[in-house]
Structure 1
Amino acid sequence: MTTNTVQYKYKEGNLSRSEPNKLRPENLRSEEMIVNLGPQHPSTHGVLRLEVLLDGEIVQDVVPHIGYLHRCFEKHAENLPYNQIIPFVDRLDYVASMNNEHAYAMGVERMLGIADQIPKRVEYIRVLVAELNRIASHFIAIGTYGMDIGAFTPFFWIMRDREHILRLLEWASGARLLYNYIWIGGLFYDLPVGFEERCREFVQYIKPKLQELDDVLLQNKIFIDRTANVGVLPLDLAINAGVTGPVLRGSGLRFDLRRVDGYSVYPELEFDVPVGEGKMGNVGDCWDRTYVRYRELHESIRIIEQCLVQLTGDHQRTRDFDPQALVPKKIRPKAQDFYVRAEIPKGELGFFFRADGRNDIPFRCKCRSCSFVNLSVLPEISKGILIADLIAIIGSIDVVMGEVDR
């Protein structure tokens, strides 16, 4: 057994740090070996390295290694004015950039005391594009997850349908993935003329496609066999570990910040919060987490339809509407510590700010990454499983490494 790539030793059921690149074979039982999964592996959904202790095909322990995509977001943020940080926020969860921008802009607006002055049309547009981006993010999560365990056709369907959303968001912002559209105090620009009609066409198009996705993937016997009763995350462990989003709701807790905190115009909108119910296995298994994301697609469509009603009714475009009217020329919050959180597709994204009251650059900016926290439960729910099931568990957590490494 080679010893030049192993960084941990195994002793009495736990992996513990040893000297770099050293392994003591006497601490391994006869059939045990350490295998590196990733960082260049499609099933890890990015540059994530898992050091897996195997006894045959049985996983004894898992140690995630991160830091291969470190972007220095927080240090960048502490050297730039508040308004220039938004393009860096886009690059955290880069498949849900609108949701990231919404959380960040809302936090700075609350620090400035202008959150209550944001025009309702701006708020409805923000929710509209954020929910479109939520659908696109869940499409990636479900499609790539199906491909991880052998279902190729749903992935091609989902990527085809996701393209409609990306074209809509590109039409509004001018960018395909990293939008810089939601600004502090407003928006980069109002929606293009005809956007609402095109968005309605997309809603009518996507509804039957979601039913096809359910029939072909989620109700497929092979998919159920691969995900039901696999990677069960008990509710008490989920709460103690601090996981959020579909990973937490898949374990049965109806906790969604759009309801709990009621930010933006979400309190004025009707939508449900899906939770895992153990329909195919135990509550909190891989199937439940995936089904929660699938049900959230339907709820996001409900929200989008209500936003379109408002944007073409009471809060329709007018000739004198300026989405940048409240964008401050100089952003200088008073000295304070402030934390804001929002529900992005993967869970709670939070930003902590420390302002010194003297300049327009945050003295401290800390990001609370939901992907980082959700990944922390992987070792706890992976012991004693087959290595093939480890792939199923990773995909069900739905991590994005740009947000993990920040």
Structure 2
Amino acid sequence: MSSIQYKYKPENLTLSEPVKYDASKLKTEEMLINIGPQHPSTHGVLRLEVVTDGEIIRDVVPHMGYLHRCFEKHAQSVPFNQAIPFVDRLDYVAAMNSEHAWAMGIEKMLGIENDIPKRVEYIRVLVAELNRIASHFIAIGTYGLDIGAATPFLWLFRDRETIMRMLEWASGARMLYNYIWIGGLFYDLPVGFEEKCLEFVNYLKPKLVELRQIIIENHIFIKRTANIGVLPLQMAVNYGCSGPVLRGSGLKYDLRRVDAYSVYPEIDFEIPVGKGEMGTVGDCWDRNNVRVQECDESVKIIEQCLEKLTKEHKRDRSFDPQALVPKKIRPKAMEFYCRAENPKGELGFFFKTNGKSDIPERAKVRACSFNNLSILPEIAKGTMIADLVAIVGSIDVVMGEVDR
């Protein structure tokens, strides 16, 4: 066997001797790293400017402004009813919930909120809760991908696809529905929708048990998320957080109960909160556990809506879901704020009207993802880069309503 010949051989180097360093002369050096805006784990076009000392994060600065949704300018250029397709594009994975908030706000401005037929109200809550489950499935499934679990993502998107097809059956659109109109609905539910929906709910119940077993109760998942990204309750309140991010920190605050809008006061459901079962209250595990529990509660709400729609507020040929839809929407001169519980938190709309036009003088969005994302610099400091991905995923942001 021929030996390897080296052209250069250091004279005083013995490979068996360890290289010695003087620790007192070592200096830490901070680096500036950009994560995003196209990185998949940033959940959209979000750029994170991260200051690191080795693997430890010293500071995080979120930079938004890549989608340029321009919702508020659009809403100030068209009549109230024509803005609903733009509302869909805010939180585009929970469009039904956003439409519900917009329609309820304008109905209150017009003073017709108590005249909406009960069947319309129950249909609105039904489709909104279906969309809530679909939104949470995206949050939980993509979060699994973020931290290395591929199977839950595939399973959740399989079941989410059924919800998307049902909402498409009702509205004619797959994601951006324009289904909940001011004063009513685009159309009544298709014949057979209630039966198919109940069939899906019965199928989904054991799947949610499997979801808890393969993710929430998984030992690796717990080790990866417990005691990571802890958000103290007081900080969550100070930053205006809402939704699962706030409830994960232990506060039982849900606008479906606090404001008691639509027919939610007539429906029995619980409000899950973080309890620190696997780590510290308000950590990444708690936020995801709250979302899984909310899927269980949404199933209960859907079942009760289906019972009301099939027994008390039945389908009737004389029923017109557009009977109260106004031809011209012209509220009195006022400043008005309305809000509703979206899957990600409190979605609010502020309007300023002059009483002469059906186009608002000012339309402003209170985006839940924007407030929730603002806590990132606080809870990410001192963590590792790998944990930053876990923290961002646990917040569940959609950039469509952040860059609005």
Taking structure 1 as the reference length, the TM-score comes to: 0.93
Distance 2:397 2:250 in 1: 20
SS class of match (1:330): coil
Q: Does 1:178 align with 2:187?
A: no
| Aligned-residue identity in percent | 74
Distance 1:216 1:252 in 2: 24
Q: Which residue of 2 aligns with 1:313?
A: 311
Q: Which residue of 2 aligns with 1:143?
A: 141
Q: Which residue of 2 aligns with 1:18?
A: none
Q: Which residue of 2 aligns with 1:393?
A: 391
Q: Does 1:40 align with 2:38?
A: yes
- Report how many aligned residue pairs link the two structures: 378
Q: What RMSD in Å do the two structures reach over aligned CA positions?
A: 0.6
AA of the residue aligned to 2:302: I
Distance 2:225 2:56 in 1: 17
Tell me by how many angstroms 1:258 deviates: 0.1
Q: How does 1:233-382 map to 2 (within 5 A)?
A: 233-382=231-380
Distance 2:215 2:251 in 1: 25
Tell me by how many angstroms 1:338 deviates: 0.4
Tell me by how many angstroms 1:72 deviates: 0.7
Q: Which residue of 2 aligns with 1:51?
A: 49
Larger-Rg structure: 2
Of stretches 216-225 and 122-131 in structure 1, the one that deviates more from structure 2 is: 216-225
Tell me by how many angstroms 1:87 deviates: 0.2
Q: How does 1:110-125 map to 2 (within 5 A)?
A: 110-125=108-123
Distance 1:359 1:238 in 2: 39
- Kindly report structure 1 stretches of 4+ aligned residues shifted beyond 2 Å: none
**Structure 2: 5+ residue runs without aligned partners?**
1-26
Equivalent residue in structure 1 for 2:105, among 107, 115, 129: 107
AA of the residue aligned to 1:155: F
Q: Which residue of 2 aligns with 1:14?
A: none
Q: Which residue of 1 aligns with 2:151?
A: 153
Q: How does 1:174-253 map to 2 (within 5 A)?
A: 174-253=172-251
SS class of match (1:365): strand
SS class of match (2:134): helix
Tell me by how many angstroms 1:30 deviates: 3.9
Q: How does 1:7-18 map to 2 (within 5 A)?
A: none
Distance 1:132 1:400 in 2: 18
Tell me by how many angstroms 1:113 deviates: 0.4
Equivalent residue in structure 1 for 2:129, among 105, 116, 131: 131
Tell me by how many angstroms 1:339 deviates: 0.2
Tell me by how many angstroms 1:217 deviates: 1.0
AA of the residue aligned to 1:174: G
Q: Which residue of 1 aligns with 2:87?
A: 89
SS class of match (1:59): strand
Tell me by how many angstroms 1:336 deviates: 0.4
Distance 1:341 1:83 in 2: 17
AA of the residue aligned to 2:104: M
Residue by residue, what CA displacement relative to the aligned partner does 1:304-335 show, whole Å, maximum 9, x if unpaired?
00000000011011110000000000000000
Distance 2:209 2:97 in 1: 25
Distance 2:238 2:70 in 1: 28
Tell me by how many angstroms 1:364 deviates: 0.4
**Structure 1: 5+ residue runs without aligned partners?**
1-28
AA of the residue aligned to 1:275: V
Distance 1:155 1:149 in 2: 11
Taking structure 2 as the reference length, the TM-score comes to: 0.93
Distance 1:163 1:259 in 2: 29
Tell me by how many angstroms 1:31 deviates: 1.9
Distance 2:212 2:69 in 1: 37
AA of the residue aligned to 2:44: G
SS class of match (2:58): strand
SS class of match (2:377): coil
AA of the residue aligned to 1:108: I
Q: Which residue of 2 aligns with 1:8?
A: none
Distance 1:113 1:344 in 2: 23
Residue by residue, what CA displacement relative to the aligned partner does 1:68-122 show, whole Å, maximum 9, x if unpaired?
1111100000000000000000000000000000000000000000000000000
Tell me by how many angstroms 1:269 deviates: 0.2
Q: Which residue of 2 aligns with 1:78?
A: 76
